[in-house]
């Protein structure tokens, strides 16, 4: 079965590559700057690297000047998830929310 490549703004792919790990992304998908991946392949990579993605999102939130506490961290996360949109399966986004909230609960 042939799947059409995902047509995305390049910045979304670059963001996802940073979150899953640039090397892991390049190894599985190709260079984020030129890759034209299938959505299934992107979601499979995210599934394999979900904990890494969650840690990367926590680290981004911790480094953000706009994040002052858990409530603002959750706002930050939701903005990032909205930006990634359909690159994440709904259950992946829910799992990221749960892990993120757990890791930021003391903020």
Distance between CA atoms of residues 13 and 10, nearest Å: 5
Determine the pLDDT at residue 8. 58
Q: Is residue 4 part of a domain?
A: no
Distance between CA atoms of residues 96 and 92, nearest Å: 6
Is the model's pLDDT at 4 over the cut of 50?
Answer: no
- For 52-64, the pLDDT digits (tens) are 999 999 999 999 9
Tokens 């993605």 belong to which residue? 53
Determine the pLDDT at residue 17. 96
Q: Is residue 5 part of a domain?
A: no
Q: Is residue 1 part of a domain?
A: no
The pTM of this model reads 0.86
Q: Is residue 84 part of a domain?
A: yes
Counting the structural domains of the chain, the total is: 1
Q: Is residue 65 part of a domain?
A: yes
Q: 51 is in which domain, residue-wise?
A: 10-104
Is the model's pLDDT at 1 over the cut of 90?
Answer: no
- Tokens, residue 74: 């959750």
Q: Grade residue 9 by pLDDT with cuts at 50, 70 and 90.
A: confident
């Amino acid at each position: 079965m042939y799947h059409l490549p995902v047509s995305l703004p390049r910045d979304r792919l670059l963001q996802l590559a940073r979150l899953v790990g640039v090397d892991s992304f390049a190894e599985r998908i190709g260079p984020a700057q030129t890759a034209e991946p299938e959505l299934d392949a992107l979601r499979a990579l995210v599934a394999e690297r979900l904990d890494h993605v969650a840690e990367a999102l926590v680290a981004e939130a911790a480094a953000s000047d706009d994040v002052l506490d858990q409530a603002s961290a959750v706002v930050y996360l939701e903005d990032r998830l909205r930006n990634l949109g359909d690159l994440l399966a709904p259950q992946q986004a829910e799992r990221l929310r749960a892990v993120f909230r757990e890791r930021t609960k003391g903020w």
